[in-house]
């Protein structure tokens, strides 16, 4: 069979531990036999981040700006224990944080849906994608405990000399201030509208503008202004809608819905709601994620981490049954987007077939341990398979589709 050619490269960002092992296997078993793989490779393993003083993370982000499409393996975000384990000179920043701040992007997280792995909310037959605004609010808030020595008025002072009283403390208490910027909210809104168009999915946005008449209202106003001026016509052409409602109303509507929307959330709402949605759909290993910049750069990855516990088993020579689905979907997301941008129909078709083969494999009763516990159908041979057997089974199903 002739291999599929790629016109432009994908930025390939390698990572750590068990997901780094899966990364190699996925490429060897499911991609390289079919595609003349054209990538620009960045090794973001913790060892190489240490060796390059983390320059490699920045280089990878700029490469995505250049080529517009990237795929990323999970990486270790170092903590004190990792600093010791890897003998690091510094507690390097989270690579995802670095990518997000350079690309100024929004993260969209979505479940991969399979028959037999049923969401805890039975009506959720279509995926719910959460878009979390990952800048500002309480995450960069300034807080203070007001003790006896600080009692009295807490005021905001502005550069024009004006002031606003926040609270007059007569007793001990707490205070917090937070901020956001128009630029960041505009970029968030644009990423959401672009992603809705790119996936032809309805977009919901929720906030608490009735209570927060300046802060949350600013988010609402920016979303509406950008929608009216830049996206309304395109949304109508593509037969998709933009819907705003209060956060509490959104929560109750989402629970009663069939899914199938992108739900854009402010930073804190997105943090909380994405965990609820991921849990309700069954498994973290079935959540994929894509970072979309306001300029239309896309970086795909799995939502889970490097699966450390499995890696230590693997290193000890034991078999693991690690789920590679979200990492496979990161690759198919990137290959499909590359195909779309390059008008490479063959590449897009391959990506769709690989997704289908992965789902067909699970639906035929072949899956990893984490899914076997949730599956309501009958497992082949009444048991789950190991990490590599799972990939070989997907390959068998892929060949049937090609
Ligand atoms: P994790 O790697 O997601 O794993 C937590 C547990 O979830 C695993 O021990 C495993 O449970 C289960 N799990 C997750 N993914 C799985 C998969 N693909 N197949 C089967 N089971 C899976 O989270 P963590 O242990 O909190 O973090 C490990 C490292 O990953 C940390 O260094 C963290 O910094 C990093 N991390 C990176 C990213 C990223 O790059 N995007 C995101 C999150 C965390 P069992 O052990 O019960 O089988
Ligand atoms: Mg959270």
Q: Do 60 and 100 belong together in one domain? A: yes
pLDDT in tens, 69-125: 999 999 999 999 999 999 999 999 999 989 988 988 899 999 999 999 999 999 999
Q: Do 122 and 244 belong together in one domain? A: yes
Helices (H) and strands (E) in the chain, counts: 15, 14
Whether the CB of 284 sits within 6 Å of ligand 1: yes
Whether the CB of 386 sits within 6 Å of ligand 1: no
DSSP per-residue codes, 365-379: T---HHHHTT--SPP
How many CB atoms are closer than 10 A to CB 178? 15
Q: Do 166 and 209 belong together in one domain? A: no
Q: Do 188 and 167 belong together in one domain? A: no
Q: What is the CATH number of the domain that holds 5?
A: 3.40.718.10
- Element of type H or E holding 221: helix 215-226
**49 contacts 14 by C-beta, under 8 angstroms:** no
Q: Do 289 and 383 belong together in one domain? A: yes
In the prediction, which pLDDT does 204 show? 98
Atom 4 in ligand 1: which residue has the minimum CA distance?
Answer: 307
**273 contacts 108 by C-beta, under 8 angstroms:** no
Q: Do 162 and 246 belong together in one domain? A: no
**What's the rounded Cα separation, in Å, for the pair 195 and 223?**
14
pLDDT in tens, 375-387: 999 999 999 999 9
Q: Do 277 and 287 belong together in one domain? A: no
Q: Is 120 exposed, middle or buried (0-12, 13-18, 19+ CB in 10 A)?
A: exposed
Which of 281, 305, 330 finishes a domain? 281
Q: Do 347 and 317 belong together in one domain? A: yes
| Whole-angstrom Cα Rg for the chain | 23
Q: Do 94 and 163 belong together in one domain? A: no
Number of structural domains the chain divides into: 3
**193 in helix, strand or coil?**
helix
Whole-structure pTM value: 0.91
Atom 23 in ligand 1: which residue has the minimum CA distance?
Answer: 305
- Centre of ligand 2 from the C-alpha of residue 49, in Å: 26
Nearest Cα to Cα of residue 137 among 192, 218, 196: 218
In the prediction, which pLDDT does 283 show? 83
List the chain residues with pLDDT less than 70.
Answer: none
pLDDT in tens, 192-225: 999 999 999 999 999 999 999 999 999 999 999 9
Whether the CB of 201 sits within 6 Å of ligand 1: no
CA 37 to the chain's CA centroid = 24
DSSP structural state of residue 317: T
Whether the CB of 74 sits within 6 Å of ligand 1: yes
- Centre of ligand 2 from the C-alpha of residue 40, in Å: 32
How many CB atoms are closer than 10 A to CB 308? 14
Which of 235, 256, 281 finishes a domain? 281
In the prediction, which pLDDT does 353 show? 98
In the prediction, which pLDDT does 282 show? 82
Q: Do 259 and 293 belong together in one domain? A: no
**What's the rounded Cα separation, in Å, for the pair 139 and 149?**
27
Nearest Cα to Cα of residue 9 among 33, 44, 42: 42
In the prediction, which pLDDT does 104 show? 82
Q: What are the angstrom distances between the C-alpha of 261 and each of 192, 203, 240, 277, 323?
A: 11, 6, 10, 12, 26
Ligand 1 atom with the shortest distance to the CA of 22: 18
Domain range for residue 347? 1-113+283-402
Bridge partner residues of 298 (DSSP): 69, 292
In the prediction, which pLDDT does 134 show? 81
Q: Do 253 and 125 belong together in one domain? A: yes
Q: Do 203 and 265 belong together in one domain? A: yes
Nearest Cα to Cα of residue 323 among 11, 21, 13, 15: 21
Which of 232, 250, 281 finishes a domain? 281
The tokens describing 180, both together, are: 């956001």
Choosing from 99, 307, 391 the residue with most ligand 1 atoms within 8 A of its CB, the one to mutate for a pocket test is: 307
Whether the CB of 291 sits within 6 Å of ligand 1: no
Ligand 1 atom with the shortest distance to the CA of 304: 3
How many CB atoms are closer than 10 A to CB 301? 28
Contacts of residue 354, defined as CB under 8 A and 6 or more positions apart, other chains included, come to 30, 31, 328, 331, 332, 335, 394, 398
Q: What are the angstrom distances between the C-alpha of 30 and each of 2, 19, 35, 41, 113?
A: 15, 15, 9, 18, 20
In the prediction, which pLDDT does 86 show? 96
**What's the rounded Cα separation, in Å, for the pair 383 and 79?**
37
Atom 7 in ligand 1: which residue has the minimum CA distance?
Answer: 307
């Amino acid at each position: 069979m002739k291999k599929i050619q790629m016109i432009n490269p994908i930025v390939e960002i390698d990572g750590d531990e068990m997901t780094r092992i899966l990364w190699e296997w996925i490429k060897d078993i499911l991609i390289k036999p079919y595609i003349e793989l054209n990538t620009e490779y960045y090794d973001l393993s913790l060892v190489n981040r240490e060796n390059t003083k983390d320059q490699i993370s920045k280089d990878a982000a700029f490469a995505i700006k250049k080529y517009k499409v990237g795929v990323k393996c999970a990486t270790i975000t170092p903590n004190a224990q990792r600093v010791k384990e890897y003998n690091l000179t510094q507690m390097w920043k989270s690579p995802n944080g670095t990518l997000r701040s350079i690309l100024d992007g929004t993260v969209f997280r979505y479940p991969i849906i399979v028959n037999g792995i049923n969401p805890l909310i039975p009506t959720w037959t279509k995926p719910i994608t959460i878009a979390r605004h990952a800048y500002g609010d309480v995450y960069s808030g300034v807080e203070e405990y007001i003790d006896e020595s600080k009692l009295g008025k807490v005021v905001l002072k502005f550069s024009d000399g004006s002031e606003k009283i926040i609270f007059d403390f007569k007793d001990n208490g707490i205070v917090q201030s937070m901020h956001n910027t128009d630029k960041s909210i505009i970029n968030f809104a644009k990423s959401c509208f672009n992603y809705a168009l790119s996936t032809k999915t309805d977009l919901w946005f929720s906030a608490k503008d009735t209570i927060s008449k300046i802060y949350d209202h600013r988010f609402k106003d920016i979303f509406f202004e950008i929608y009216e001026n830049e996206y309304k016509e395109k949304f109508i052409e593509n037969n998709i809608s933009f819907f705003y409602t209060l956060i509490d109303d959104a929560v109750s509507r989402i629970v009663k819905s069939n899914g199938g929307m992108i739900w854009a959330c402010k930073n804190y709402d997105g943090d909380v709601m994405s965990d609820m949605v991921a849990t309700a759909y069954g498994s973290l290993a079935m959540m994929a994620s894509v970072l979309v910049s306001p300029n239309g750069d896309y970086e795909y990855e799995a939502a889970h981490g490097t699966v450390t516990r499995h890696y230590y088993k693997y290193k000890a020579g034991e078999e693991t049954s690690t789920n590679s689905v979200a990492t496979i979907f990161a690759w198919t997301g990137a290959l499909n987007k590359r195909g779309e941008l390059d008008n490479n129909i063959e590449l897009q078709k391959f990506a769709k077939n690989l997704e289908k083969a992965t789902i067909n494999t699970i639906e035929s009763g072949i899956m990893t341990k984490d899914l076997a516990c949730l599956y309501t159908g009958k497992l082949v041979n009444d048991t789950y398979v190991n990490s590599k057997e799972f990939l070989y089974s997907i390959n068998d199903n892929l060949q049937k589709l090609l």
